[in-house]
Every structure is written in structure tokens, then in C-alpha cells.
Amino acid sequence: MVVGDFPIELDTLVVGAGPGGYVAAIRAAQLGQKVTIVDKGNLGGVCLNVGCIPSKALISASHRYEHAQHSDDMGITAENVKVDFSKVQKWKESIVKKLTGGVESLLKGNKVDIIKGEAYFVDKNTVRVMDEKNSQTYKFNNCIIATGSRPIEIPAFKFSDRVLDSTGALNLNEIPKKMVVIGGGYIGTELGTAYANFGTEVTILEGANEILGGFPKDMTSIVKRRLKKKGVTVITNAMAKGVEEKDNGVTVTYEAKGKEDTVDADYVLVTVGRRPNTDELGLEQVGVEMDDRGLIKIDKQCRTNIDNIYAIGDIVAGPPLAHKASYEGKIAAEAISGEKSEIDYIGIPAVVFSDPELASVGYTDKEAKEAGYDVEVAKFPFAANGRALSLNDTDGFVKLVTRKEDGLVIGAQVAGPNASDMIAELGLAIEAGMTAEDLALTIHAHPTLGEITMEAAEVALGTPIHIVK
């Protein structure tokens, strides 16, 4: 500690300025707290800078390229469609810059003080914040920890110029001719799909027997079919063993069906999960309880075992989703203000920007049965919807999981175009305690994809109009 480092008094301190931290800071400020936020990186965290936002930009650009090449059945052909990948990257970065600049304006507009540096806990009311030159001690009344997560590095695949994490894959200077993706979860599938759309020959190695393991097989099978059409090779039950790096590429060794094999590529992308950033905060100094995975234990108000310290986002149990972190950030900020807010995850959607998109909220039928519910399952296909036909994108369905006794909607899944947007209505239905009848009686504009939700509800009621039951 530098000489003359007198502690600066703070009210509410937020550590981490990602989608959990900055949202928590703004909500706390709205509730009258004097808030300070600290982060060693750029505002917006992984999500805005090297995650959700840039990946969706890349995915959108790749779809434009793919559509330009494959719209002949609609009577549209294009010749010599080219990708200027450096321009794609510049466009992607312009979106990131706009959003991170927006976060800074929002924080300042809500009178949140911003500190750049790395926070280290000294005790339950004190942190030391260090940057390259200085160290300053701060005393706080309450603290919300929102430090997020980082990609897991596996010993045989140390990150390098050719062995990439998701950040590296988003920032390539050229479109690879060949890429191996280790891990067929949502990040691997999304980025693998994006590069396949750009023309990369992609091989996905997945250790389990299915890609996108959190989703039902009737959803993932549609994605696998599309991946095959794009020329993507998906190898399940595959164990990646090692990588040999050369000047211009890699050779990946893997084992599948009891045999060892190799695949050559320009790059290998490793997406085998994320690790919580809780190991270098000094939490052991404070006695904050964690599980064996380094996740912080919290109660229904995101409070840790230390009553003035809260934790949210990827560093607590549950899926590492930006919208989950934002939701928890609001709960923690409200709890500090004495409100009775509590977390309830039933309405949190999970979305994969695969091709087609997948989205789920509430229970799947399997989960509902395991939880002891007697359920009805109703499905309506995109192929019977006029708008889907006019988009020339008809793979997929909407599935409703309703309680048999009263038709209460307790779960829903969407596989198909715009599933990421369509799931919001179904999340609202669950959150508001709506029944299949409520959804069926809601007049949906025609022709829209949203009608598929209404039609699925009519299937649940046994009175479908546009399919024969």
C-alpha cells in the first residue's frame, strides 16, 4: 500500500461493470444509494465487449452472406458475393463501441462514480483498488460482487495464436478455411455456425452424446440437420486429446468410438465452459462462502453469508447468462434498499443463436414430470404458418407445457426463426400465471410468427384451426 493511502468512504460499491454490475449500479442509484463501480476492463464486461453482442453481430453478418448465396429458390441469384472480413470486424467493433459508450453515459447520468482498477478485499467493509500506478483503499457499507467468468482452458489446449478461446475466435483477421471447435455447447455451436456460413469447413467435437445438451433432442436434431447442410461435421462422444501447432495451422487429435483420429485446421476453438472470476478477489480474507467450483453461495436476495456483501451473475449458481446477471443485479440493489425482492428463476429464458434459433423458458416436459407435475404437451409447426413460409424458413415448432388440471403454462420451447424474440411472450405467460386459454384468446396479428404461439395454445385446448388433430 502506498504511503498516505487514507481510506475513502463509500456507500454502495459494485465490483464488475458487466451486464450484472452496471445494471445493479444503476438500479441502486435509482433507489437513492450513492454508488461507485469498479472494473479493471472495459465497461460492459464480457457480454458487450467480447461475448453476446459481438458474436450476434458476426452471426448476423454471416447470415446475410449465406442468404445472398442461397436464395435462388425465391428467384434471387447473386454472383461474386464477397466478404471483406476486415470491414465485418470494423462494423462489429462499431456496435460494441456504441453500446459501451452508452453504458458509460447511463452510469454518469445516474451519478454513479466509475473507478478503473482491480479490486481486492481486505475485510468485510474494505477493498483495495489497484491500477498500473496506484493503490487506493475504500471503505464501503454494502458491496455487490459481479466479476463474471472467463473461458476454461484445458491443459492439452493452452490458448495461443492458433488455439483460441471465444474472444480470439471473434477477433480473427481472416475467415479460416478450416476450424475445429471443441465443445458443442451454445458458444461452440453459435460461432461454428457463423464461420460455416462464411464458408469455413467446421468440425465440432463434443464429449457428450448430443450437442446443446441443455435442450431437448427434438430441438437439437433440427440444428444438427442444418449444420450438416452447411457442411459442418459433428462428432459426438469425442474426447479431444491434444493439439500440434504449426506455423500455418493445427492438427487436433481426438478419440471417438474407441479409435484415435486427427483433423487438420487453421485454428482450434476451445469452448468447454466458463470459470467464475472469484479466485483473485481476496474473498478468503473476508470468509465469503463458496462451493468447490468457486461459485459464491447466496440466499434469495443474492446476499452472501456476509450480510453486507452480495453476489450476482456468473459467479453464483445457475447458467452464465447476461440477462440472469442483470435480473439478479436489480434484486441485490433492491435488497440493499430494504425492499422484499427475491430471485425466482422460473421465467428466465435460455436462448441459442444457432440455425435455427432455439429458446426455452420454464420447464421442459421431462423436467415438469420429474418435478411431479401431470402435464399436457402441445406442439405447432412453423411449416403450417404463413409467415414462416413467406420467410422460406419453416423448420421448427412451438411447444407448450401446461398443467393438466387447469391448463396453466409452466414451460415452453421454440425452435425456429426468431425464437429468441418469440420466447418473451411465453416467459410473460409463465410469469403472469397465464393458461393456454389466455394465450389462445389473445388476438395475434396475421401473418406473423407470433401466431404459432396462439396455435400451439389451441392445440393444448384440443381445438386447433390450422392443423388436423
Catalytic site residues?
Answer: 446
Of 212, 224, 449, nearest to 351 by C-alpha is 212
A 10 A CB-CB count for 42 gives: 18
Query: What phi and psi, each to the nearest 5 degrees, are found at residue 360?
Result: -145, 145
Is position 346 annotated in a ligand binding site?
A: no
Q: Are 191 and 57 in contact (CB under 8 A)?
A: no
DSSP string, 190-220: HHHHHHHHTT-EEEEE-SSSSSSTTS-HHHH
Give Cα separations from 378 to 259, 361, 372, 383, 401 (angstroms). 42, 15, 18, 15, 7
Q: Cα–Cα distance between 247 and 336 in angstroms, integer? A: 54
Compute φ and ψ for 355, nearest 5 degrees. Answer: -130, 110
Closest CA to 188 of 232, 157, 148, 254: 232
Q: Is 185 annotated as a binding residue?
A: yes
Query: Is 334 one of the annotated binding-site residues?
Result: no
d(CA 192, CA 227): 9
449 by DSSP, 3-state: which?
A: coil
Strands 142-145 and 12-15, by their bridges, are parallel
Check the annotation: does 147 bind a ligand: yes
Q: Is there a binding annotation on residue 314?
A: yes
What span, in angstroms and rounded, lies between the C-alpha atoms of 193 and 62?
9
Rounded Cα distance between 92 and 64, Å, is 14
Residue in 267, 277, 85 with CA at minimum distance from that of residue 160: 267
- Ligand-binding annotation for 187, yes or no, is yes
For residue 265, the tally of other CB atoms under 10 A from its CB is 22
State yes or no: 148 annotated in a binding site.
yes
Query: 186-197 and 217-229 are packed helices; what angle lies between their axes, rounded to 10 degrees?
Result: 30
Asked whether residue 206 is marked as a ligand-binding residue, the answer is yes
Say if residue 189 carries a ligand binding annotation: yes
**The three three-digit cell numbers of residue 366, written as one number:** 421431462
The C-alpha atoms of residue 14 and residue 163 are separated, in whole angstroms, by 34
Instruction: Determine whether the annotation assigns residue 132 to a binding site.
Output: no
> How many of the other CB atoms lie within 10 Å of CB of 99?
16
Task: Give the E-state strand segments of 257-322 in sequence order.
Answer: 259-265, 267-270, 274-276, 309-311
Residue 183 assigned to a binding site: yes
Q: Collapse the DSSP code of 50 into the 3-class scheme (helix H, G, I; strand E, B; otherwise coil) and give the result.
A: helix
The answer to whether the peptide bond before residue 447 is cis (omega within 30 degrees of 0) is yes
Place of cell 462462502: 289
DSSP annotation of 264 = E
For residue 166, say whether it is annotated as part of any ligand binding site.
Answer: no
Binding site as annotated, residues for NAD(+): 183-190, 206, 273
Binding site as annotated, residues: 56, 147-149, 183-190, 206, 273, 314
Binding site as annotated, residues for FAD: 56, 147-149, 314
